[in-house]
Amino acid sequence: MSGAATGPGARRAARAIDALRRGWTFRVADRFGGLDLIAVESARDADLAAFGSSDMLISGERAVTLKLTNQRAAAAPGPVRLAGAADSVAAALAIADPALDLAHPLKGPFRTVDTGGEEAAAAAMVLARHAGLLPAFFVRSGAVAGPAETECTADDVAALLDPARLHIAARARLPVEASETAEIVAFRSPEEASDHVALVIGKRDGHPPVVRLHSECLTGDVLGSLKCDCGPQLHAALHAMADAPWGVLLYLRQEGRGIGLVNKLRAYALQDQGFDTVDANLRLGFPVEARDFAIAGRMLELLNVPRIRLMTNNPEKVARLEKEGVEVVERIPLALLTNPHNAQYLATKRDRTGHQL
């Protein structure tokens, strides 16, 4: 068992996430001074009055939905600052939360201004995603503001995401339906609450194992949701590993393709309005793919598994793992039956995200 150093930068970023969820003011500093921020979703009107700014910072994806960027900017959208956009939390939520778009169809006109710090703005969006909140903030320029309750930098956020911080925390035998001799290995990062796990099935035989990257899906894995294919994929992969000489399931705590459970449920609500999974994520203000595959690469490194046979229908996973130094010697498809509730979801994966079904 090994340990990982807890750097001060990562700790500052973790405190910023905590402040964000609590509705506290926090600062993301950069070479221009930085930005003072309060997350719209956790803010209160009394906090906003004390904050003294009605500017908003929203993600580039949400700005594209609101038609606030031109086509050139939409190709690689960055955060957008809206001057005097909202003088109350309710007004800000009407801009930030796409679930309220039907109730508040007319927005603006908005005046966009310089963010006041592009690096700080981009780092704030990463913090929002890791906190599981909407990527929207009340903002003021930190160079001229008073002290924030918590401060971090863009480099601190990068340190928080460094996969080298991941280490093996515990391991134990875990008999499961697919294999009574399976071993579970837990991985932990010092400043984060979510622990990733690997399930090792079978015995090493000198050949690359069958590996499946499975992102946590509470609704599919535990509750048996029919809206996705996550639960059936999980169990089919485990049985395929049991039939192979050996295999490794990497269970990544990255719910909803990395946007968190609450935001995934918001995306579900948007799907009920007719949006597919891709457009739902974009309307929420998130990238289509927000998962961190470097974590999987680090887990395989700690398990001493440099070469794998990857079970996936997503060629992007192959490319991402190879970028992390993992040799993928074979891609193994995973075919499952559809149902009336997930047929459109699977068609979107095929047509818009390149899955080979």
Same domain assignment for residues 197 and 310:
yes
Write 168-171 long-range contacts (CB < 8 A, 24+): 168/1, 168/2, 168/302, 169/1, 169/195, 170/1, 171/1
- Residue 165 — left, alpha, or beta (φ > 0 → left; ψ -120 to 50 → alpha)? alpha
Q: Token pair of 230, please?
A: 């996550």
Same domain assignment for residues 114 and 199:
no
Task: Calculate the average pLDDT of the chain.
Answer: 88
Same domain assignment for residues 201 and 78:
no
Same domain assignment for residues 167 and 136:
no
CATH number at residue 155: 3.90.870.10
The closest alpha carbon to 38, from 133, 159, 157, belongs to 133
CATH number at residue 314: 3.40.50.10990
Separation of alpha carbons 357 and 120, rounded Å: 39
Is pLDDT at 62 greater than 80 in this prediction?
A: yes
Separation of alpha carbons 326 and 149, rounded Å: 41
Task: Report the Cα–Cα distance between both ends of the chain, in Å, rounded.
Answer: 39
Q: Residue 2's pLDDT band (boundaries 50, 70, 90)?
A: very low
At residue 187, the pLDDT reads: 97
Separation of alpha carbons 227 and 352, rounded Å: 17
Convert the pLDDT of each residue in 174-186 to its tens digit: 999 999 999 999 9
Convert the pLDDT of each residue in 252-292 to its tens digit: 999 998 999 999 999 999 998 989 888 899 999 998 888 89
- Residues 328, 308 contacting (CB under 8 angstroms): yes
According to DSSP, the β-strands at 136-141 and 55-58 are antiparallel
- Residues 38, 12 contacting (CB under 8 angstroms): no
Same domain assignment for residues 178 and 238:
yes
2 assigned to some structural domain? no
Is pLDDT at 61 greater than 70 in this prediction?
A: yes
Mean pLDDT of the region 114-126: 92
Other Cβ atoms closer than 10 A to 110 = 19
Mean pLDDT of the region 63-81: 74
- Look-up of token digits 């993301």: 28
The HSE-up count of residue 122 (CA atoms within 13 Å, CB side) is: 11
Same domain assignment for residues 26 and 108:
yes
- Into how many domains does the chain fold? 2
At residue 188, the pLDDT reads: 94
With a pLDDT cut of 70, the percent of the chain lying above it is: 89
273 assigned to some structural domain? no
Same domain assignment for residues 91 and 171:
no
DSSP string, 19-37: HHHHT--EEEE-TT--EEE
274 assigned to some structural domain? no
Look up residue 80 and give its amino acid. Answer: V
With a pLDDT cut of 90, the percent of the chain lying above it is: 62
Instruction: Show Cβ contacts of residue 280 under 8 Å, excluding neighbours closer than 6 positions.
Output: 266, 267, 268, 270, 271
User: Residue 172 sits in which domain range?
Assistant: 163-254+291-352
262 assigned to some structural domain? no
- Where a domain ends, among 111, 127, 160? 160
Q: Residue 328's pLDDT band (boundaries 50, 70, 90)?
A: very high
286 assigned to some structural domain? no
Same domain assignment for residues 209 and 341:
yes
